Structure 1
Amino acid sequence: MQPPPSDTILLIEDTPSLQMIYKAALKRADYTVETCGTGGEGLAAFRRLRSSVVLLDLMLPDRAGLDVMHEILASAPQTCVIVITANGSINKAVEMMRAGVHEFLVKPFDDQRLLAAIENARRALHHRPKPNEFEASIQVLPPFIGHSAPMLAVYDKIRSVARSMATVFITGDSGTGKELCADAVHQGSARAGGPFVALNCGAIPVDLLESEVFGHLRGSFTGAISDKLGAAAAADGGTLFLDEICEMDLNLQTKLLRFLQTSTITPVGATKPRKVNVRIVCATNRNPLEEVRQGRFREDLYYRLHVVPIHMPPLRDRGDDVNEIAETLVVQMAREEGRDFAGLSPRVRELFRELPWPGNVRQLINVLRNVVVLNDGPLVMPTMLPPDLLVERMRPADTKPAEPHRPALGDLAGRTLAQIERIVIEDTLARHNGSVPKAARELDVSASTLYRKLDAWSKAEAAQ
Structure 2
Amino acid sequence: MSQPSAPSAPQVLVVDDEPDLRTLYELTLLREGYRVDAAATLEDGWQQLQDRPFDVVITDMRLPDGMGLELLQRMQAQQRPERCIVMTAYGSAENAVEALKAGAFDYLTKPVDLRQFRNVVASAILERNNGTPRAPRPNGAAMKERPSGAAQSALDRMVGQSAPMLQVKDRISKVARSMAPVLVRGESGTGKELAARALHACSHRGEGPFVTVNCGAIPESLLEAEFFGARKGSYTGATADREGYFQAAQGGTLFLDEIGDLPLPMQSKLLRAIQERQVRAIGSTQEDAVDVRIVSATHRDLAADVASGRFRQDLYYRLNVIELVMPPLRERREDLPALCEALLGRIAQDSGMPVPVLSPAVLDELAQQPLPGNVRELENLLHRAAALSDGQVLQIDAALSASPESPVPPSAAPAATAAPIAPAPAPAAGDMPSDLQAYLDQQEREILVRALQETGFNRTAAAQRLGLSLRQIRYRIARLGIAAPGGEEANDNGAA
User: For the superposition of Structure 1 and Structure 2, which TM-score range results when normalised by the shorter chain?
Assistant: 0.7 to 0.9
1:124 counterpart residue number: 131
Task: Give the structure-2-normalised TM-score.
Answer: 0.79
CA contact (8 A) 1:148 1:321 kept: yes
2:279 counterpart residue number: 265
CA contact (8 A) 1:214 1:233 kept: yes
- Which of 156, 159, 162 pairs up with 1:148? 162
CA contact (8 A) 1:214 1:231 kept: yes
Q: Secondary structure at the match of 1:330?
A: helix
Distance apart, 1:430 and its partner CA: 6.7
**Change over 3 Å in CA distance of 1:317–1:443 after alignment to 2:** closer
Per-residue CA deviation, residues 421-464 of structure 1 (Å, 9 max, x unaligned), is 9999798557446764543466786523556889xx9xxx9xxx
CA distance in 2, matches of 1:384, 1:442: 29
CA distance in 2, matches of 1:19, 1:27: 12
2:221 counterpart residue number: 207
CA distance in 2, matches of 1:224, 1:423: 42
**Change over 3 Å in CA distance of 1:295–1:103 after alignment to 2:** same
Taking only aligned residues, the RMSD between alpha carbons, in angstroms, comes to 3.7
% identity of equivalent residues: 38
**Change over 3 Å in CA distance of 1:436–1:184 after alignment to 2:** farther
Q: 1:5-154 to 2 correspondence within 5 Å?
A: 8-51=11-54, 53-86=56-89, 88-107=91-110, 108-109=112-113, 110=115, 111-126=118-133, 131-134=143-146, 141-154=155-168
**Change over 3 Å in CA distance of 1:125–1:86 after alignment to 2:** farther
**Change over 3 Å in CA distance of 1:249–1:414 after alignment to 2:** closer
Per-residue CA deviation, residues 239-270 of structure 1 (Å, 9 max, x unaligned), is 11111111111111111111111111122233
The letter of the residue matching 1:291 is D
- Which of 195, 203, 209 pairs up with 1:189? 203
1:3 counterpart residue number: none
- Which of 321, 331, 334 pairs up with 1:320? 334
Distance apart, 1:185 and its partner CA: 1.0
CA distance in 1, matches of 2:367, 2:404: 13
The letter of the residue matching 1:99 is A
Q: 1:242-257 to 2 correspondence within 5 Å?
A: 242-257=256-271
1:406 counterpart residue number: 414
User: More helix by proportion, 1 or 2?
Assistant: 1
**Change over 3 Å in CA distance of 1:353–1:390 after alignment to 2:** farther
1:174 counterpart residue number: 188
CA distance in 2, matches of 1:127, 1:422: 63
**Change over 3 Å in CA distance of 1:37–1:299 after alignment to 2:** same
Q: Which runs of 5+ in 1 are unaligned?
A: 1-5
**1:386 lines up with 2:413 in the alignment:** no
Per-residue CA deviation, residues 351-380 of structure 1 (Å, 9 max, x unaligned), is 222322100111011111112223255332
Give the count of matched residue pairs.
443
**Change over 3 Å in CA distance of 1:19–1:413 after alignment to 2:** closer
CA distance in 1, matches of 2:103, 2:456: 39
CA contact (8 A) 2:85 2:106 kept: yes
Q: 1:424-463 to 2 correspondence within 5 Å?
A: 431-432=454-455, 436-440=459-463, 446-448=469-471
CA contact (8 A) 2:208 2:252 kept: yes
Structure 1 range deviating more: 92-101 or 79-88: 79-88
Structure 1 range deviating more: 30-39 or 123-132: 123-132
CA contact (8 A) 1:85 1:93 kept: no
CA contact (8 A) 1:175 1:360 kept: yes
The letter of the residue matching 1:355 is Q
CA distance in 1, matches of 2:456, 2:412: 11
CA distance in 2, matches of 1:150, 1:318: 7
Per-residue CA deviation, residues 359-404 of structure 1 (Å, 9 max, x unaligned), is 0111011111112223255332344532156996xx9xxxx94566
**Change over 3 Å in CA distance of 1:127–1:177 after alignment to 2:** farther
Per-residue CA deviation, residues 89-139 of structure 1 (Å, 9 max, x unaligned), is 442131122122233334414223322222223323259998355399979
Task: Give the structure-1-normalised TM-score.
Answer: 0.84
